[in-house]
């Protein structure tokens, strides 16, 4: 066996260096046999030899995490933290970069209505004195940072920094059907400079490729997933079109235009957009979205929702997003959301002014139509028509 050869070479090298006659020196293996310690030695040292003499890529994998489709509004999966594992449901959010879950330190009502991580119950938890504060488009949290083992699919991510919430004010997380958030954005937007989960996976050699891909199902159907380290072509048709990341923070790309029936209705001189699994709708500057709402005949009800006549869906046009010279049409069946007896617009006006200008958010309304690959190795996003 290879380990026996290594032990033999080790004994030989010791004899040569110290000029000791070979016949007078017992091998390490023989000494261990005589003392009845060989099996214990092998149990203890064989894993170390494997780690030393085989590259970490040998242990890399592709892991698929199933996501639950909650009313076509949110997609979340189950992870575990700690030893023994404590399970939590989390949004896999490409629009942020931190992992956090409710904790026993938290006094907000939202925490008591969700699963809470108890650091005292984990033998591998490591506390820190660092604090964490995150504000999302809706909702916010504050907490502290700690380290523990995080299991995502079949990947065991050790020594992962994550947030333990202490406050979750407002109603956003109070009514959320998930416990916490696992951010998949770039490290540059991570609060408190905490290393994101995917970066830690890659740094430890746990995934075979420096990318992950997402498929979101429609109409409440099962099958949604995020795949770490791989791409499954069975989830899309045609070929992937690659779009360069324009800024490494969010998964930000350049969009050429937004057109309806060949007429440019927004983003006439190109604009910036982020591909965000954590946003339910497709958001853009309020002026541009107002034009789209008017074009498709949406009007606000008393609750401020943009309502469209359900009978009009079959006659509504595709809205085409041109990205890197490739057209990505959204049919009315994609941008009109049915809730009970109402039909709602999947567009939302939101002014997000950045140093790069106004920003669009290609949320779940878009991603349901297009299988998406988030390629960190080449800083690009791959898009293909979802099956």
**Is 93 a catalytic site residue?**
yes
Query: 72, 93, 148, 199: which one is catalytic?
Result: 93
What SS3 state is found at 254?
A: strand
* Phi, psi of 243, deg, nearest 5: -125, 125
Helix 2-18, helix 38-53: angle, nearest 10 = 90
What SS3 state is found at 27?
A: coil
Which DSSP symbol is given to 236?
B
Cα–Cα dist 329/322, whole Å? 8
Q: Provide the CB-side half-sphere exposure for 355 (13 A, CA).
A: 3
The token duo for 253 is 């790309």
Q: Which residue is listed with tokens 């999302």?
A: 136
The alpha helices in 247-331, defined as continuous H runs, are 286-296
Cα–Cα dist 156/37, whole Å? 31
Cα–Cα dist 109/116, whole Å? 12
The token duo for 312 is 């009009």
Query: 276, 348, 364, 375: which one is catalytic?
Result: 276
The secondary structure element, H or E, covering residue 284 is: strand 282-284
305-333 residues labelled b (16+ CB within 10 A) or e (exposed): ebebeeeebeebbbbbbbbbeeebebebe
Catalytic annotation, residues: 93, 276
């Amino acid at each position: 066996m290879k380990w026996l050869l290594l032990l033999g070479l080790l004994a030989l090298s010791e004899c040569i260096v110290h000029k000791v006659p070979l016949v007078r020196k017992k091998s390490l293996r023989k000494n261990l046999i005589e003392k009845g310690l060989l099996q214990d030695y092998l149990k203890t040292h064989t894993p170390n030899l494997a780690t030393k003499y085989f590259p970490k890529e040998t242990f890399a994998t592709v892991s698929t995490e199933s996501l639950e489709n909650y009313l076509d509004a949110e997609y979340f999966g189950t992870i575990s933290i700690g030893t023994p594992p404590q399970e939590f449901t989390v949004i896999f959010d490409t629009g942020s970069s931190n992992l956090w879950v409710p904790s026993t330190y938290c006094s907000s009502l939202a925490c008591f209505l969700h699963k809470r991580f108890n650091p005292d119950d984990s033998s591998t938890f490591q506390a820190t004195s660092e604090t964490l504060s995150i504000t999302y488009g809706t909702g916010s949290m504050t907490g502290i940072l700690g380290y523990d083992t995080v299991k995502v699919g079949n990947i065991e991510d050790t020594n992962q920094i994550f947030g333990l919430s202490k406050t979750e004010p407002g109603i956003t997380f109070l009514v959320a059907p998930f416990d916490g958030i696992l951010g998949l954005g770039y490290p540059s937007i991570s609060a408190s400079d905490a290393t994101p989960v995917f970066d830690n996976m890659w740094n430890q050699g746990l995934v075979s490729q420096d990318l992950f891909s997402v498929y979101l199902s429609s109409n409440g159907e099962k099958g949604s997933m995020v795949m770490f380290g791989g791409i499954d072509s069975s989830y899309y048709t045609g070929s992937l079109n690659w779009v360069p990341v324009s800024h490494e923070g969010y998964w930000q790309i350049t969009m050429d235009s937004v057109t309806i029936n060949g007429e440019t209705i927004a983003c006439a001189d190109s604009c910036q957009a982020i591909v965000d699994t954590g946003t339910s709708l497709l958001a853009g500057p309020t002026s541009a979205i107002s034009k789209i709402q008017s074009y498709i005949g949406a009007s606000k009800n008393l609750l401020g929702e943009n309502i469209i006549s359900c009978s009009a869906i079959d006659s509504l046009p595709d809205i085409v997003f041109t990205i890197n010279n490739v057209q990505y049409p959204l049919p009315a069946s994609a941008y009109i959301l049915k809730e009970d007896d109402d039909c709602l617009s999947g567009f939302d006006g939101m002014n997000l002014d950045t140093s790069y200008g106004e920003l669009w958010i290609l949320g779940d309304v878009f991603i349901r139509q297009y299988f998406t690959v988030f390629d960190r190795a080449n800083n690009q996003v791959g898009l293909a028509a979802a099956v």
